[in-house]
Amino acid sequence: MSTWHLIGSGDGEVVCRAGEKIVRFNKRPDSEERWDLNVCNGKLAGENRPFSVDGVEPVHGFATLLRDNAEKLKEQLGTRPSSGLATLFTLYNAGLTVRLSRMNLLPSIIRPMNLGARVPVPCTFHNWLGERRVALPIVNALRWPGFWLSEDQSYGAGSINPYSLLTALSDLERSEGQKLIAELEHVATQQWIEHGTQEAIRKLEPLFFLSRSETTTPNWWLYDHAASHGMSQILHQLARAQQALWLRS
C-alpha cells in the first residue's frame, strides 16, 4: 500500500521517498513541483465548491469523501477546515498510510505591512487552534514529526489568570485592547499551562479566526498590524499549552 505524503507550504525540509504518492495544495497546473494529487481551495480554482481535486484518486469517490469529511470537521471547528486538514482526515479515515511535511497547522496570522487595510490575511479564515485540537488524537498514528511545537524556553510565575483577561478582549475599547494584547503576549507558556484547561483554550478559539458569513468582525486585531503580532505570539503560546495539557492527560 502506498504512503500518501502531504506537503504543506510551511517551513522545513522535505524528503520524498521512493514509491510515495505526493499530495500538494493549491498548486497551479504549470507548477514545477511534482505531485500525484493536488487539492485546491475551490474559490482559488474558480469553482463553486469547497475543494477542487486533480490527479490520482487515493480511494474511490475521494472528492465526495473529502467534502463529507470537511462538513464533519466544520461542525467541530465552527468554520470551514483547511484543505490540509480535510485531506488528512479523509486519507486517515480511509485507512491509508499518511506522512506529513511542512505542515504544523499553525501558519502566521501576522499582517504584512503592505497589505491593504480591508484585506484579510487568507489563513485567518481557518481555526488553527481548533485544527490542532482535532488533530491531536490521531497524531501518533501518523508520520508527522513536524506537528510538535518546541517548548518555550521562557518561564515565569504569576497570579494573574491570562484566560480571564483574554476572554474580556472583545468587550474592551480598541486602545485598551491594544494594551491588553501587548501585556499578554509576554506571558510565558508555563502560565498558560498552569491556569489552563483544554476547554478554556477551546473557548478562546473564536478570537483567532474570521467568519466567512459576516461582512464585519469584532476581531479587529486580525486587521491591525501591531495587534496581529501580539495575537500571533499569544496563539503560539496557547498552542503550546494545548499540546502540553494533551500530553499530560
Q: What is the pLDDT of residues 21-78, one digit of tens each?
A: 999 999 877 777 889 999 998 665 455 677 889 999 999 999 999 999 999 999 999 9
Element (H, E) at 97: strand 97-101
Question: CA–CA separation, 131 vs 105, rounded Å?
Answer: 7
Q: Is residue 127 a contact partner of residue 209, using CB atoms and an 8 Å limit?
A: yes
Q: Which residues, 6+ apart, have CB-to-CB distance to 45 below 8 Å?
A: 52
The reported pLDDT for the residue numbered 1 is: 72
For the whole model, what pTM was predicted?
0.94
Amino acid sitting at position 32: E
- Residues in the chain with pLDDT values less than 70: 42-48, 153-158
Sheet holding 37-41, edge to edge: 51-55, 37-41, 21-25, 3-7, 97-101
Q: How far is CA 31 from CA 20, 28, 235, 236, in A?
A: 19, 5, 32, 31
Amino acid sitting at position 81: P
Terminal CA-to-CA distance of the chain, rounded, Å? Answer: 33
The reported pLDDT for the residue numbered 158 is: 64
The reported pLDDT for the residue numbered 151 is: 81
Q: Is residue 146 a contact partner of residue 179, using CB atoms and an 8 Å limit?
A: no
Q: Which residues, 6+ apart, have CB-to-CB distance to 199 below 8 Å?
A: none
The reported pLDDT for the residue numbered 214 is: 80
And the C-alpha cell for 115?
A: 497589505
Q: Is residue 82 a contact partner of residue 105, using CB atoms and an 8 Å limit?
A: yes
